[in-house]
Structure 1
Amino acid sequence: MKKKLSLVAFIYAKPGYQDEVATTLKSLIELSRSEAGCINYDLHQSSDDPTVFVMYENWHDRSDLDHHFNMPYMQEIMKSLPEMLRAPVEMHYLDMLSHPNRQQLTEG
């Protein structure tokens, strides 16, 4: 069985751009969740620093995540997002050691 893959991405908006970054990132949620390989795709914003966002994603395998990054809407956002950021996006790829929540598997 293939390993499930998690991605935790830290996104740092330039001061004053947090609303625009939030809107941009929110636009990805439903599109990403509709992809066959997506288990869950969740956006978070720091309670302490509103310029810090975290994407927490789980995918059935690495090929599904690679497919996600090649989607036209992702390519477009990856071109426009950097001008609103104060640092490069930090992406941490993790092998999932637990089983996904059954509800997440059936909701997709």
Structure 2
Amino acid sequence: MTIVVPETGGPVGVYGFARPRPERAEELERLLLSFVEPTRAEPGALQYQVHRDAADPGTLVFYELWRSADDLRAHLARPELADFQRRRLEYLREDLEIHWLTPLSAPT
């Protein structure tokens, strides 16, 4: 899967589901959490969170809000994110499920 960021002409949001292989679940969780602080410090990062699905604790959910599509593209080009994109199926039992959002209200 190549991640193609849609052009929104403004902020862009994304949420997705990561369903890890059972034997790699803890490793994937640590990896995704390791992205949080550096990502929040990036230009254009308005919100970046990792969650556990309450109904399916084996599923990790991420939510991101970016000032622009270009900011998100720059984030995805960072070496650690590009490496994860290349290697993601080593951790996942199925590919990432990604949903794009066009924010209708400003972040708080």
Aligned-pair distance for 1:79?
2.4
Report the RMSD for the aligned CA atoms in angstroms. 1.2
How far apart are the structure 1 equivalents of 2:45 and 2:100? 15
Mapped to 1, the partners of 2:18 and 2:50 lie a distance apart of 10
TM-score, length basis structure 2: 0.86
- Taking structure 1 as the reference length, what is the TM-score of the superposition? 0.86
Task: Give 2:57's aligned residue.
Answer: 50
Which 4+ runs in 1 deviate beyond 4 A? none
Aligned residue identity for 2:107: P
5+ residue gaps, structure 2, are 1-8
Give, as a single letter, the amino acid of the residue that structure 2 aligns with 1:34.
A
Q: What runs of 5+ residues in structure 1 fail to find an aligned partner?
A: 102-108
> Where do 1:6-45 residues align within 5 Å?
6-45=13-52
Q: Distance in 2 between matches of 1:95 and 1:38?
A: 15
The aligned residue for residue 106 of structure 1 is: none
Q: How does 1:1-108 map to 2 (within 5 A)?
A: 2-101=9-108
Helix, strand or coil at the partner of 2:74: helix
Please state whether the residue corresponding to 1:98 is helix, strand or coil: coil
C-alpha distance in 1 between matches for 2:12 and 2:69: 6
Query: For the residues of structure 2 that align with 1:80 and 1:24, how far apart are their CA atoms?
Result: 12
CA apart distance, 1:50: 2.6
- For residue 35 of structure 2, give the secondary structure of its aligned residue in structure 1: helix
What SS is found at the alignment partner of 1:73? helix
Q: How many residues align?
A: 100
